[in-house]
C-alpha cells in the first residue's frame, strides 16, 4: 500500500481523545507532528501550561500509544545539514571496499567502525546493509566491567573530507532535539518535563548508525544482495530514535498490532521517530517499542542515518511511578533493565565476529 504525503498528514491530524485512542483500529499509517510549538517553549519550566505545547504533547501521546512511530517536522535541524549528512554518507559507501575497510569495526575497536554487507545479523539472519557504527565515547573504566565492551574511539573516514566534523555537528543537534522531544513525551506520560534527565538520561548515551542498502540486483553495485531483508525485524534499544532516511525510496516497514507491515514512506525534511525498549519500560508498556524492518525493493542504493537517544549508560530502568498507577489490572510484573547490559547483550550477538 502506498500513501502520498497528504494522506499521511491528514491521518496524522485526526484528533482522538484518550478513550477512543485505546479503542482505535490498528494504525495503517504514521502521523506527522509539527513540534515547533514544543521547541519554542521547551526551556520554560512552565511549558506544560502553554496551549501550543499541550497540543503537541497530545499528538505525541496518541502516536506513541498507537504506533510507537511518528514523523517530526519543525525540528529545527537545518535542511542543508540534514541533507548533506545523507549525501556524504552516499559518497562514503560509493568508495571501493579497500578504502572503507580502513575503518573496520572489530571487538577491539569497541564495535565502532565499518561493517560490510552481511556482517550485521538480526535474529540469526545476515542483514543486507553496510554501515558505520558510532557510539558516544566512554572514558576508560567509566562504568567498570559494564562499559568495557563499548570502550574505544569512533573511527571516521578521511574521505569524504570533513566527514567527522559534519557528523559530530549533526549528532550534537540530534542530542539536543531528542532531549527536547523527550520533555514532551515526559509530559505525555503525565510526569514533569524533566523525568528523562538526571539519573535517568541527564547524561544520555547515544548511538549513531550510518547505513547503506544496496539496490535490488543493481548491475553497477559493488555487492549484490542475496535476499531482500535490508535489516531484519527488530526493536530499538534505548529511548527515542531519530531516523534521517533517503527521500525517494520506501523501504522501512513498521508492524502494527494485527501483524501487518505498514510502510513508513519518506516525507522529505522530516525525522522518523520511534520508541525504544527503555521507554517501553519507563512507560510501563503504555508505549510499545514497535517492531520494524527494512525491505529492499528498489533498484537504487538507499542511505539512512539513524541516531539513537538512550538513557545514561548505567541507568537502572523501571516504570515511572506516574505510569505504574496508570496501568489498570492486577499485580503486573514490572520489567526492569540496566541499559548498558541490554546494549552489550545486543552488540555481542549482532556481528559475525
Ligand X SMILES: N=C(N)NCCCC[C@H](N)C(=O)O
Ligand Y SMILES: O=C(O)CCC(=O)C(=O)O
The residues that bridge with 342 in the sheet, in sequence order, are none
Stretch that binds Fe ion, among 140-148, 157-165, 228-236, 295-303 (CB under 5 A): 228-236
State whether residue 240 is helix, strand or coil: strand
Pick one of Fe ion, ligand X, ligand Y, none as the site partner of residue 350 (Cβ within 5 to 8 A by kind).
ligand X
Interface with Fe ion includes 236 (CB under 5 A)?
Answer: yes
Grid cell digits, residue 350: 549482532
What is the rounded distance in angstroms from the CA atom of residue 65 to the CA atom of residue 18?
Answer: 9
Distances (CA, A) of 155 to 16, 163, 275, 299: 46, 11, 27, 30
Pick one of Fe ion, ligand Y, ligand X, none as the site partner of residue 132 (Cβ within 5 to 8 A by kind).
none
Q: Of the two residues 260 and 321, which places its CB atom closer to ligand Y in the complex?
A: 260
Interface with Fe ion includes 288 (CB under 5 A)?
Answer: no
Secondary structure element (H or E) that encloses residue 277, with its range:
helix 277-282
**Helix, strand, coil % in the chain, rounded to nearest 5:** 35, 20, 45
Stretch that binds Fe ion, among 78-86, 128-136, 229-237, 257-265 (CB under 5 A): 229-237
How crowded is the C-beta side of 310, counted as CA atoms within 13 Å? 24
Q: Of the two residues 70 and 187, which places its CB atom closer to Fe ion in the complex?
A: 70
Residue nearest to Fe ion (CB): 236
Q: Of the two residues 58 and 292, which places its CB atom closer to ligand Y in the complex?
A: 292
Q: Of the two residues 57 and 306, which places its CB atom closer to ligand Y in the complex?
A: 306
**For residues 193 and 183, is the Cβ–Cβ distance under 8 A?**
yes
Q: Of the two residues 41 and 280, which places its CB atom closer to ligand Y in the complex?
A: 280
Instruction: Give min distance, CB of 236 to ligand X, in A.
Output: 4
Instruction: Give min distance, CB of 243 to ligand X, in A.
Output: 10
What is the rounded distance in angstroms from the CA atom of residue 16 to the CA atom of residue 311?
Answer: 30
Phi-psi region of 265 (alpha: psi -120 to 50; beta: other; left: phi over 0): beta
Pick one of ligand Y, Fe ion, ligand X, none as the site partner of residue 120 (Cβ within 5 to 8 A by kind).
ligand X
What is the rounded distance in angstroms from the CA atom of residue 178 to the CA atom of residue 84?
Answer: 20
* Contact residues for ligand X, defined by CB under 6 A: 120-122, 207, 209, 231, 234, 236-237, 308, 346, 350
Pick one of ligand Y, Fe ion, ligand X, none as the site partner of residue 346 (Cβ within 5 to 8 A by kind).
ligand X
Instruction: Give min distance, CB of 236 to Fe ion, in A.
Output: 5
Q: Of the two residues 34 and 236, which places its CB atom closer to ligand X in the complex?
A: 236
What is the rounded distance in angstroms from the CA atom of residue 36 to the CA atom of residue 205?
Answer: 25
Instruction: Give min distance, CB of 332 to ligand Y, in A.
Output: 28
Which residues of this chain interact with Fe ion, rule CB under 5 A?
236
Amino acid at each position: 500500500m502506498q500513501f502520498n504525503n497528504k494522506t499521511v498528514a491528514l491521518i496524522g491530524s485526526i484528533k482522538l481523545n484518550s478513550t477512543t485512542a485505546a479503542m482505535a483500529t490498528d494504525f495503517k499509517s504514521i502521523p506527522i507532528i509539527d513540534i515547533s510549538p514544543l521547541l519554542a517553549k521547551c526551556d520554560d519550566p512552565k511549558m506544560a501550561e502553554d496551549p501550543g505545547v499541550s497540543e503537541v504533547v497530545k499528538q505525541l501521546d496518541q502516536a506513541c500509544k498507537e504506533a510507537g512511530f511518528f514523523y517530526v517536522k519543525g525540528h529545527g535541524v537545518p535542511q542543508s545539514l540534514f541533507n548533506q549528512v545523507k549525501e556524504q554518507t552516499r559518497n562514503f559507501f560509493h568508495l571501493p571496499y579497500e578504502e572503507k575497510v580502513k575503518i573496520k569495526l572489530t571487538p577491539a575497536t569497541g564495535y565502532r567502525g565499518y561493517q560490510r554487507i552481511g556482517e550485521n545479523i538480526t535474529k540469526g539472519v545476515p542483514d543486507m546493509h553496510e554501515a558505520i557504527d558510532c557510539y558516544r565515547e566512554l572514558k576508560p573504566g567509566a562504568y567498570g566491567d559494564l562499559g568495557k565492551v563499548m570502550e574505544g574511539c569512533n573511527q571516521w573516514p578521511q574521505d569524504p573530507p570533513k566527514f567527522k566534523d559534519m557528523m559530530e555537528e549533526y549528532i550534537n543537534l540530534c542530542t539536543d532535539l531528542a532531549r527536547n522531544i523527550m520533555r514532551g513525551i515526559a509530559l505525555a506520560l503525565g510526569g514533569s518535563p524533566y523525568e528523562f534527565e538526571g539519573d535517568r538520561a541527564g547524561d544520555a548515551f547515544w548511538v549513531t548508525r550510518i547505513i547503506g542498502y544496496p539496490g535490488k540486483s543493481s548491475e553497477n553495485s559493488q555487492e549484490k544482495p542475496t535476499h531482500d531483508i535490508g535489516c531484519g525485524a527488530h526493536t530499538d534499544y534505548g529511548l527515542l530514535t531519530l531516523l534521517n532516511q533517503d527521500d525517494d525510496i520506501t523501504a522501512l516497514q513498521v508492524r502494527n498490532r494485527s501483524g501487518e507491515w505498514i510502510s513508513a514512506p519518506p516525507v522529505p525534511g522530516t525525522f522518523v521517530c520511534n520508541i525504544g525498549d527503555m521507554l517501553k519500560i519507563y512507560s510501563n508498556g503504555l508505549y510499545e517499542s514497535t517492531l520494524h524492518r527494512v525491505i529492499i525493493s528498489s533498484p537504487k542504493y538507499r542511505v539512512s542515518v539513524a541516531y539513537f537517544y538512550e538513557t545514561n549508560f548505567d541507568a537502572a530502568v523501571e516504570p515511572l511511578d506516574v505510569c505504574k498507577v496508570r496501568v489498570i489490572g492486577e499485580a503486573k510484573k514490572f520489567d526492569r533493565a540496566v541499559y548498558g547490559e541490554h546494549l552489550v547483550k545486543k552488540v555481542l550477538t549482532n556481528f559475525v565476529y
